[in-house]
Copies of this chain bind each other. A is one copy, B any other.
Amino acid sequence: MKFNKRNIHIGNNVALGHNVKIGDNCTIYDNVIIGKNTTICNDCIIGEPLSDYYNIENYVNQPTYIGENTLIRSHAIIYAGAKLGNELVTGHRIMIREETVTGDHCMFGNSVDIQGHCILGDYNRLHSYISIGKYSQFEDYVFIYPYVVVTNDPTPPSTSLKGATIGSYSQITTGAVLLPGTNIGKHCLVGANSTVGGEYEDDSFITGNPAKRLGQLSKMPFFNEDGIKHYPWPNNFDYGMPWKKGEFDVWLSQNNEKIK
């Protein structure tokens, strides 16, 4: 059943790296570059053209970059002009718009929807059904949980959009809304169903509707199953991370310079 090359359509000037596999019923539009060892599952659209495609005779698709060692599950729609890093793994039906740049080692769940002009760092993990508004910027190791929306219009409707920013290692939990221009520091935790606006320093626990900073996250009594304080979480979690559990500080001291 694997990769039967049925009903696949590939445009002009498409560059497929070594060992790239394309699933059935996929459409790869013009000017797409896909890195080696990457798998695009069934029913995907890569390099989806912008509106002008339907209106302008001589429309030229922007280049689209898909990294190496990537697995994009079925029914993804990735727009022309997106640039995705290496080692990405996705669920089904993701949507990524133009001018979005993502780092390496990201994971995106089902129906993640990233509007255009976003910048995501390395090791971002976006679970399923998440909407990231235009002009959002996330650092590295940002985890976002289902039904979170990152918004961008302070006075709807307007054309003066302000994206939110999220610092490295921060966790935005289920159903939270980040209001336009919100700035979340590093190592923060945003509670479920919170409505968050404003600016938050590193190591904040932020929750409620409207949300408030309840204090330093690392001082809060969030104990994990080992009975120890869970935050900062990199001390206690290493699944898919570049450090080993209990050795985050060691890793950090060795790698700090290399982090963007």
Point out residues on A near B: beta carbons under 8 Å: 1-2, 4, 6-7, 9, 11-12, 21, 24-25, 27, 29-30, 39, 42-43, 45, 48, 51, 53-54, 71, 74-75, 77, 92-93, 95, 110-111, 113, 125, 128-129, 131, 143, 145-147, 149, 151, 153-160, 171, 173-175, 177, 179, 189, 191-195, 208-209, 222-225, 230-231, 233, 236-237, 239
The answer to whether B209 and A155 touch across the interface, beta carbons within 8 angstroms, is no
A223–B154 Cα distance when bound, in Å, is 9
On whether the beta carbons of A30 and B9 are closer than 8 Å, the reply is no
Q: Across the interface, do B233 and A157 meet the contact criterion of CB distance under 8 Å?
A: yes
For A141, give the chain B residue with the smallest CB separation: B157
Residue numbers in B under 8 Å from A11 (CB-CB): 1
Q: Are A177 and B177 in contact (CB under 8 A)?
A: no
Determine the distance from Cα of A189 to Cα of B85 in the docked complex, in whole angstroms. Answer: 39
When C-beta atoms are compared, the residue in chain B nearest to A43 turns out to be: B43
B143 and A171 contact, CB distance less than 8 A: no
Knowing A129-B131, A143-B156, A174-B177, say if A193 contacts B192 (CB, 8 Å).
Answer: no
CB-CB nearest in chain B for A30: B1
> Could you show 26 A-B contacts with beta carbons less than 8 Å apart?
A1-B9, A2-B53, A21-B54, A24-B27, A39-B54, A42-B45, A45-B74, A93-B93, A113-B128, A131-B146, A143-B156, A145-B156, A147-B147, A149-B174, A149-B175, A155-B230, A155-B233, A158-B225, A158-B233, A159-B237, A159-B239, A160-B224, A175-B175, A175-B193, A193-B194, A193-B195
Q: Which residues of B contact A6 (CB under 8 A)?
A: 7, 9
* A227–chain B nearest beta-carbon distance, Å: 11
Separation of A59 and B30 alpha carbons in the complex (Å): 34
Distance between Cα atoms of A159 and B30 in the complex (Å): 41
Contact B1 A192 (CB under 8 A): no
Query: A208 contacts which of B30, B194, B209, B222 (Cβ < 8 Å)?
Result: B209
Q: In the assembly, what is the distance between CA of A187 and CA of B48, in Å?
A: 36
CA distance A43 to B43 in the complex (A): 9
Q: How far is the CA of A21 from the CA of B157 in the complex (A)?
A: 32
A245 vs B225: C-alpha distance in the bound complex, in angstroms?
A: 46
Closest chain B CB from A177 CB (angstroms): 5
Q: Which residue in chain B gives the minimum CB-CB distance to A143?
A: B157
CB distance from A181 to the nearest CB of B (A): 11
